[in-house]
Amino acid sequence: MTVPRTVVFLLFATCSVWPAFAGPCTGAEAQLVRVSRELTLAATDIAEGILRPIVLAHPDCPEVLLAKARIEEARGNANQAVDLYIRYTDLEPNDSRGFAYFGRFFLEQRDYMKADALSAAAVDKNPSDPSALALRGQVLVMKGQSAEGKTLLEKACQLDPDDPEAQFQLGAIYDRAKSAPNAVQHFRKAATLNPRDSRAWDYLALNLEPMGALAGAEQAYKKGLQVNQPGRFYDAFLDYNYGRFLEKRNDLAASKQHMDRAVELAPKVRAVWYERAKLNLRLKNYQQARTDAEKAASCDDPAKVIIDLQIYALLAQVYGRLGETGLAKKYADLSRETPPPVRGEYR
């Protein structure tokens, strides 16, 4: 049978106008990319505003579920986030991003076994997905497989140099290796990509200090403090680090303000009490120094950031300034008699 030319023309025109494989998300791709980007930057309200018309125009789009899951996670609604992540991964079982974001959710929740399993599944589904590689790399580093984790994070940064979390995690590896120039490169990139990440500003400053870039370090500390809000990118030690920086520059009054804030934010951490005790000793606030040093002595410090010998030496000084010679001698004797920890027992 011969098909009339008019019908052929109509068929051709129809195929030209309508995509052959139009799906439930067709037409919303660019907006969904924007939503994902804003969520990566923790701009939840902006992401939600972009998503709202997509939901109305594309009610059956699975990507909406993934975006909603990330929004609920950001809002702190864990149960709703889990339900949405499960629904999305059921609908799109081959999409590595669903497993990667779900795994990062469990990592933030400190459910490391689930984060490990989901990160492995994400990479297995797509070994070229930057979000999957970044998560898996971070998990491997936490498991002690630093070389393998670093390789994956480097690959993630190569594939998507604009992923601030991958840049931050790679910077953290160089920070632990005491490679300040490399750490600065990645922390600067992370902070530039996501100016709301107070952690990135803090680590950038910490690594600029040993390089002698003190003006840059101070600027980074101040930028971090401006954006340090509760949430995923919150840094409880930013005031502590900046307070120490100011003390080293002999700005003792300003240092005191930040150290006071530090002990409020991290009251169970030995280091913050120890450093404020040293500062109060310099300020001749001897009674306050005594309280802080005794508090530091009572805090557990399994990582041995501040070892007992440091506490004993400080208490000997404080009690000496207060004229309590018996206690000063006790702690001076402890300082002499206590053997230092063997190499490797403290960092």
* pLDDT tens digits for range 168-224: 999 999 999 999 999 999 999 999 999 999 999 999 999 999 999 999 999 999 999
**In terms of DSSP H, where are the helices of the chain?**
5-17, 29-40, 44-57, 62-75, 78-91, 96-108, 112-125, 130-142, 146-159, 164-176, 180-193, 198-208, 214-227, 238-248, 252-265, 270-282, 286-298, 308-321, 325-337
Distance in angstroms (rounded) separating the CA atoms of residues 164 and 176: 18
Express each pLDDT in 147-171 by its tens digit.
999 999 999 999 999 999 999 999 9
Distance in angstroms (rounded) separating the CA atoms of residues 341 and 347: 10
Backbone angles phi, psi at 237, to 5 degrees: -105, 10
Per-residue pLDDT at 42: 84
Domain assignment present for 258: yes
Domain assignment present for 189: no
> By the 8 A CB rule, do 259 and 275 touch?
yes
Domain assignment present for 226: no
Per-residue pLDDT at 304: 87
- Please, is 343 exposed, middle or buried when counting C-beta atoms within 10 Å of its C-beta (0-12, 13-18, 19+)? exposed
Distance in angstroms (rounded) separating the CA atoms of residues 308 and 345: 13
Per-residue pLDDT at 22: 59
Q: Please name the residues in contact with 300: beta carbons below 8 A apart, sequence gap of 6 or more.
A: 270
Distance in angstroms (rounded) separating the CA atoms of residues 208 and 318: 32
* Number of domain units in the chain: 1
Q: What is the CA radius of gyration of the chain?
A: 27
Distance in angstroms (rounded) separating the CA atoms of residues 277 and 271: 10
Q: For residue 340, what is the domain's CATH number? A: 1.25.40.10
* 302, two tokens: 């399994």
CB count within 10 Å of CB 261 equals 17
Domain assignment present for 43: no
For the chain, what's the residue count? 347
Domain assignment present for 156: no
* 309, two tokens: 């010998």
Express each pLDDT in 214-267 by its tens digit.
999 999 999 999 999 988 899 999 999 999 999 999 999 999 999 999 999 999
Q: Is the model's pLDDT at 312 over the cut of 80?
A: yes
Express each pLDDT in 76-103 by its tens digit.
999 999 999 999 999 999 999 999 999 9
Per-residue pLDDT at 342: 64
* 250, two tokens: 């002999």
Percent of the chain scoring above 90 in pLDDT: 87
Domain assignment present for 9: no
What does each C-alpha distance from 74 to 44, 104, 150, 221 come to in angstroms? 7, 12, 27, 25
Range of the domain at 323: 236-347
CB count within 10 Å of CB 92 equals 16
* 323, two tokens: 């004229």
Q: Is the model's pLDDT at 45 over the cut of 90?
A: yes
Supply the pTM of this predicted model: 0.85
Lowest mean pLDDT among 7-16, 128-137, 178-187, 315-324: 7-16
Q: Is the model's pLDDT at 320 over the cut of 80?
A: yes
Domain assignment present for 177: no
Domain assignment present for 246: yes
